[in-house]
Amino acid sequence: MKDEIQERIIEEFAVFDEWLDKYEYLIELSDTLPAIDPQRRTDEYVIKGCQSRVWVDARVEEGKVFFSADSDAIITKGIIALLIRVLNGRTPQEIIDTELYFIDAIGLSENLSPTRSNGLLAMIKQMKMYAVAFGASAR
């Protein structure tokens, strides 16, 4: 199933031929990251498996999940900003069911170092775990 937000991200990245330009765009996107509450920048919210430190928090409003995050690495902030852009404001079940195909479509997975790839998978897993927890608590 096509996803409007993911399609838009693919179009945005399609204008860049070089990966250096895509990295620069990721760095720009880091500024769009919904800020995490400073009190959430603790080990409890840090994502295990990321080389850099990444904190992710989530809340539910009217049955939809909203994320906030931060990282001490600027490219990682851009990556999490993209994930949040795709998953924010969806129901827990929609988040669980969303296939994040934009990651391969923009060439992100093949242009990340192995440690960043592991971090990306850890961020996705954590965001989906929040959705699972919120989905279970809604029953």
The residues annotated as belonging to the active site are 50
Cβ contact 124:87 at 8 Å = no
* Token pair in block for residue 118: 């592991």
